Structures are given as C-alpha cells and as structure tokens.
Chains A and B, each alone.
Chain A
C-alpha cells in the first residue's frame, strides 16, 4: 500500500517543539517523503521533503530514519498559526503509476 500511517491528532503548547511521526514501512528506495499542511479553508501547502538525509528549511525539519521506514516532522517552536492538518506523503517513482498519494493526516492543535 502506498499510503503512510500517521496519528489522527496531536496537541502542543505554543512556543514548544512538536514532533509529528509518520510510518512508511513499504517505501521503496527512490521514493521521496513529502510533508504538506492544510490550514483551515485552504488548499494544502508544501512544508518539506527529503530522500535519505535529514532536511531543514525555514518552516521545519525532517528527520528520516536510517531504514527509511519512518520519519518525523519537527516544528521547532509551534505557534497558533501552525494549527493545521499535516500530511506525510510518499511519492511513487514507477512510470505510469500515480504519485503523491495523501493519507488522512494528523490534525495538530496548538494551545495558547
């Protein structure tokens, strides 16, 4: 199955770090791991992606397990604006098959 597994919901206090886990145990060697988030009443927006090494950008960090069967999105200091549904996605590489298959995501609640 191409879909990933994430907890349905998580809570965090404002200004604290948040670690959002994702399981992708059937990932193949060339599939990328992507994270998107969806703010209320908006389309999903890109957060970060990676293949094997940990990745950092201005929004977040992505930690990928050595066996690539799981990954963690890290928000270093959660703000109220980070309250959203976060989707972990693996992208397929086989020509002719679909790509960017979304799961149900994790709804992050940030407490003031």
Chain B
C-alpha cells in the first residue's frame, strides 16, 4: 500500500462547485503539503502544515483552503472551482524532525478538471 494516498485520482467538476481533495499518510509524519502542477510551471506550493494545529499559506493559496483533521489527514478544498484551477495536485509529507534537511514523500497526484 502507498504511504501517501490521494483521493480521488481523477475528478471532473463544473465551475462554481465546491470540491475537496483528500490526502492520508501512514508514514507517521508531522508535516504535510499541498502542491499544484501546471504544464511548464513545475510545482507550486499551495498550503503546508507542520502539525495538526499549524496551517500556513504557500505561494498560491488564493481560492483554496485546507483542513488538517488529524496527523495523518490533510485535505484541500476549492470553495468555488474555476477553470484555471484545472491542474495536477500533489500531497506530500515530511518527518518534521530535521528542519529543511528532510525528504519529501509525494502521493501519486489528483488530476482535477474544472469545466
């Protein structure tokens, strides 16, 4: 089983709909991250959380919100989806014990299409 699991793998939705992407991990890591990937733009950080009570904005947080329900679960919400939020979304984790001397572990991604 994958250590970092994202659901759903693919999602098609309509403009204005609320949508939630979920991420769960079995690695026991404190830190979790949400990135989006657009062709030609690499990965951009949306939000990150260093523990259950800690939420921080990344580079491109507008239009998104997150919830850290437990150490193992970190969900990303689009309150009112718009077409330019069509992208590949990745969740990642890190242990939280080594500062920036840490490895990130990524899920397989969620492809979101907003029509």
Contact = CB atoms under 8 A, between A and B. Distances in A.
A112 B2 CA distance: 31
Interface in A26-75: 30-32, 36, 42-46, 49, 51
A100 B107 contact: no
Interface stretch (B11-19, B40-48, B71-79): B40-48
Interface in B53-85: 56-59
Given A87-B42, A98-B48, A31 B90 contact: no
Range of interface residues on B (Cβ < 8 Å)? 20 to 34
A98 B59 contact: yes
Question: Which label, helix, strand, loop or mixed, suits the secondary structure of the A interface?
Answer: loop
Interface stretch (A10-18, A76-84, A102-110): A102-110
Interface residues of A, number: 24
Contact of A43 (B41, B44, B48, B90): B90
Contact of A44 (B44, B48, B90, B99): B90
A41 B42 CA distance: 14
Contact of B101 (A49, A87, A98, A103): A49
A30 B48 CA distance: 21
Contacts of A32: 100-101
Closest 4 CB pairs of A and B: A43-B106, A91-B100, A102-B43, A104-B42
Given A96-B56, A102-B42, 9 more contacts: A42-B108, A42-B109, A44-B104, A46-B103, A92-B100, A99-B48, A100-B33, A101-B59, A102-B44
